[in-house]
Structure 1
Amino acid sequence: MKYYKIIELKNGIKCCLRNGIESDGQFVFENFNLTHEETDYLLSYPDENSFDAIQESQFLKEKAESENEIEIIAVVNGVVAGTAGIEAVGTKYKVRHRAELGISVAKEFWGLGIGCALMDACIECARQAGYVQLELDVVSENSRAISMYEKAGFEEYGRNPKGFNSRITGFQEIVYMRLEL
């Protein structure tokens, strides 16, 4: 899938939303480690990153060549400020109508509209890919993210009270959300 759009952030600065490509591997790898260090709301910790920069480059190459999956990066003044992507739940007939959404934005860029723009881009790409349902998991204490998802039309369909086991706070409740496309 291909995606490219220039947006203006809340602070007036331009942001480029585009496919992550093979040459972005090192920058996306660094962004992943940074964002996963800055918040306890994401799935993993930086020391659990199963990719190195070379593997990240390969991952981005595969997503750029995919017809139904994508990894979008938000670039502000030459810096990868955030990433988001859609990934198929599976290839079997019974689940191929579903995709999962994931978003992370570096703390320095919170509150500027990057998360919303990345989410909107992923929703657009999911529709283009022919998905019927977009899904995500979010920590219940992450009220800013939940509010953003609800404004986009996502609805809660369940909770797991021990969905994550945080090294910092112990068990975290996960909210399952879905958007019909």
Structure 2
Amino acid sequence: MDHSKNFFQNNLRYTIRPAIEKDAKELSEVRLQIDGETEYLDREKGESYIDESGFKQIIREDTYLVNNLFLVAEVDERIVGFSRCAGSLLKRTSHKVEFGVCVLKEYWGYGIGQSLLTESLRWADLNGIKKVTLNVIETNEKAIKLYEKHGFEVEGILKNDKLHSDHKYYNTAVMGRFN
């Protein structure tokens, strides 16, 4: 994806575009906030923290690696979510990428996550990616339905994969979309 794309849903205008290095500081802050807003992600707030220079490095790599894509979602020039497709340079796995997405809680319900997914899948199809994979907590039924609507299927279940703040273990669904 080489350009910005504008969306309007539920009276909200937002833009999806490739991440650039000047986004790094804001991405670091947004990721930290999102991690504290939901149990659906792998991290708790502050874990596996990525600072501005870390995000600059990721953005640089994703800009030049042919099977990586880093997108941001903006509302009024404020980053409110992002997604990544990360592939491998190894020949045996170079046909696939892993997709991840997160959106600030106050912007849930506007289709931002779906738009990030749609644009990522369009990019994958245009770039000959044969498989897109993702992991989703089994209780996130809304996300699973969205992924299935976009052609993903459950390939397996990782049992008792995540321990949440309620001290209970949860299963993770491994999903894949084949092209």
Q: TM-score, normalised by structure 2?
A: 0.94
Offset at residue 3 of structure 1 (A): 4.2
Residue of structure 2 in register with 1:8 after alignment: 8
2:161 paired with 1:153: no
Aligned amino acid, residue 82 of structure 1: G
Q: How does 1:67-146 map to 2 (within 5 A)?
A: 67-88=66-87, 90-146=88-144
Aligned residues: CA RMSD:
1.4
Q: Structure 2: how far apart are the matches of 1:61 and 1:3?
A: 17
Distance change (3 Å), C-alpha of 1:24 and 1:174: same
2:37 paired with 1:47: no
Aligned amino acid, residue 47 of structure 2: E
Mapped contact 1:154–1:178 kept (Cα < 8 A): yes
Q: Structure 2: how far apart are the matches of 1:60 and 1:91?
A: 17
* SS of residue matched to 1:48: coil
Mapped contact 1:163–1:173 kept (Cα < 8 A): yes
Q: How does 1:11-22 map to 2 (within 5 A)?
A: 11-22=10-21
Q: Structure 2: how far apart are the matches of 1:3 and 1:178?
A: 26
Q: TM-score, normalised by structure 1?
A: 0.93
Mapped contact 1:41–1:142 kept (Cα < 8 A): yes
Which deviations, in whole Å up to 9, do the C-alpha atoms of 1:56-75 show, x marking residues without a partner? 12211221233221110000
Mapped contact 2:114–2:146 kept (Cα < 8 A): yes
Which deviations, in whole Å up to 9, do the C-alpha atoms of 1:146-173 show, x marking residues without a partner? 1111111111111011222223343110
Q: Structure 1: how far apart are the matches of 2:70 and 2:119?
A: 10
* SS of residue matched to 2:29: helix
Aligned amino acid, residue 157 of structure 2: R
Distance change (3 Å), C-alpha of 1:92 and 1:66: closer
Q: Aligned pair count?
A: 179
Aligned amino acid, residue 91 of structure 1: L
Mapped contact 1:3–1:72 kept (Cα < 8 A): no
Which deviations, in whole Å up to 9, do the C-alpha atoms of 1:88-108 show, x marking residues without a partner? 1x3222211111000001000
Extract unaligned runs of 5+ from structure 2. none
Q: Structure 2: how far apart are the matches of 1:146 and 1:97?
A: 23
